[in-house]
Copies of this chain bind each other. A is one copy, B any other.
Amino acid sequence: MWAHRLSRFNRLAWQPAPATPLLRRGLASHTRWFPQEPAEPLVKTTTIPGPQSKAALEALGRLQDPRAAIFASDFQRSIGNYIADADGNVLLDLYAQISSIPLGYNHPAILEISQSPEMLWALANRPALGVMPPKEWASILEDAFMRVAPKGLDQVFTTMCGSCANELAYKAAFMHFAARKRQESSLTFASPRTLQAYEESCMKNQPPGSPEYVILSFKQAFHGRMFGSLSTTRSKAIHKLDIPAFPWPAVRFPRVQFPLDGYAAENQQEESRSLQEVAQTLDSSPLPVAAVVVEPIQSEGGDNHASPHFFRELRRLTRDRDVLLIVDEVQTGVGATGTFWAHEKWGLDADNAPDVVTFSKKFQAAGFYHTRKLRPEQAYRNFNTWLGDPVRALHAKAIVDTVKRDNLLQLVNDVGGALMTQLEALQAQYPQAMSNLRGQGTFIAFDLPSTDQRNQFLTNMRSLGVNMAGCGDHTVRLRPMLVLQPKHVGIIADRLEAGLKRTFT
């Protein structure tokens, strides 16, 4: 039955979507309930990857390393919360392309904007946005990014990926910090002698032009995998082995106990230890700290949470010392935690906003918000050929439209609450298996006893029709899209229980 609906949807989907107000209203409910979704997962093959996925990955293996692939997707048959694979398996997807699909597969609003006239010029004429931007660029930035700009940040710098967003944010931070340091030493590029000393040394990768400043990050953090971002990443050795790194410091991230309110005193003590390490490093690092970077929830590193109090104190510590605070919302941003930006829950006013908030993944477009003071002194300093992509900015615009129109933050909170209730019951029922259940919105995780059992559990869950993934050493993370419905909660809970039984008995 659903298969019939699915194929009908796919036929319809490839037609240009008319954009009348009537249809827009029609799309709203359409979206909300994704009537073409199957009633439940369909697992056709005894193992996943099945034979067709294996053949596709083998063909791929001749050209690219396929060892991390779990199956080959069939995106034309994927719909809403369900991902189809090359064998016709249709899985409820709580992984969502590593937490990067915002609205579900083949969402009408994304299909519609993807077939719009503005998308066509954006696709056919890729601009160098810093040199000859399209005349529409300011209004696209407004619609895509500024409507949801974090409090206190009125500038947006667009990039191509999450690692790029963090790297270019670090560059902005270094330029700002270096300018301040010069000012403190009464040095200025207006003096030809100073300028020459900086220019000549930077061409040799030496100070003062290439300064030995650092970004301070937290242990278990993940901020990307290029050379600057990787130097702040401390999630797993496999991410870092054999790659030269800057001698940048990392400090303890709180290891809190769950449920948070059950361990309020212990957790506050633990957070204080971490904050002490931050303060100590800021005050005594042999290499000056230009900025601190932090995730609202350490996502790749194991879904490690901390309290709003911790982050407010971190802001106070950095602000007191005139050190920039960069909040990496690449994975936490765009709604899944129940607020558009996870750091909104910290309750900071505009005057105490982070200096930078980076984004990518579910926003489809990547980049960072920042305050005006982080514009470099001269043009061309934080610059590259593309500086982002209008194609993905148009997607971001459609995402923001849909989140607002369909009130998806409310949905995330409702569904997240229902999920947590079910998961709490499961944790109570399987205390030897599940522990440390934690979450914000639908951004939920729990631990299993060991890495091997966690991995076996994930394999079992795929066989049970639910695609999900791990993070950290032995954590299971749920990363559904923003369109997860109340009706999916029971399906997930039932299959999680079956997965626990299969793995642990």
Instruction: Please report A residues at the B interface, Cβ cutoff 8 Å.
Output: 13-14, 16, 52-53, 56-57, 59-60, 62-76, 78, 83, 85-86, 95, 97-98, 100-101, 105-107, 110-111, 114-115, 117, 119-128, 130-135, 137-139, 141-142, 146, 154-158, 160-164, 167-168, 170-171, 174-175, 177-179, 198-200, 202-206, 209-214, 219, 224-229, 231, 234, 237-248, 250, 360-361, 364, 375-376, 378-386, 391, 395
Contacts and interface: CB of A to CB of B under 8 A. Distances in A.
Contacts of A383: 68, 225
Given A203-B240, A379-B68, A384-B161, A126 B146 contact: no
Contacts of A174: 242-244
How many identical subunits does the complex contain?
2
B202 A245 contact: yes
B63 A141 contact: yes
A20 B247 CA distance: 59
A202 B379 contact: no
Given A111-B124, A231-B227, A237-B203, A72 B379 contact: no
Most buried by B among A86, A111, A381: A381
Given A72-B132, A115-B115, A124-B114, A240 B202 contact: yes
B142 A63 contact: yes
Contacts of A106: 121, 124-125
A231 B202 CA distance: 10
Contact of A241 (B70, B138, B198, B244): B198
13 contacts: A63-B154, A97-B131, A105-B124, A106-B121, A110-B124, A115-B120, A171-B225, A174-B243, A202-B242, A210-B240, A226-B228, A227-B228, A239-B381
Contact of A75 (B134, B141, B381): B134
A504 to B, nearest CB: 26
Given A237-B203, A379-B65, A381-B238, A100 B73 contact: no
A241 B202 contact: yes
Nearest to A156: B63
Nearest to A73: B132
A97 B127 contact: yes
A200 B241 CA distance: 10
B209 A241 contact: yes
Given A72-B137, A242-B179, A244-B212, A126 B101 contact: yes
A269 to B, nearest CB: 25
Nearest to A141: B63
The 5 closest A-B pairs by CB, nearest first: A227-B228, A67-B379, A199-B237, A205-B245, A178-B242
A305 B66 CA distance: 38
A75 B121 contact: yes
B138 A83 contact: no
A210 B125 contact: no
A380 B67 CA distance: 8
Contacts of A238: 378, 380-381
A121 B110 CA distance: 10
A147 to B, nearest CB: 12
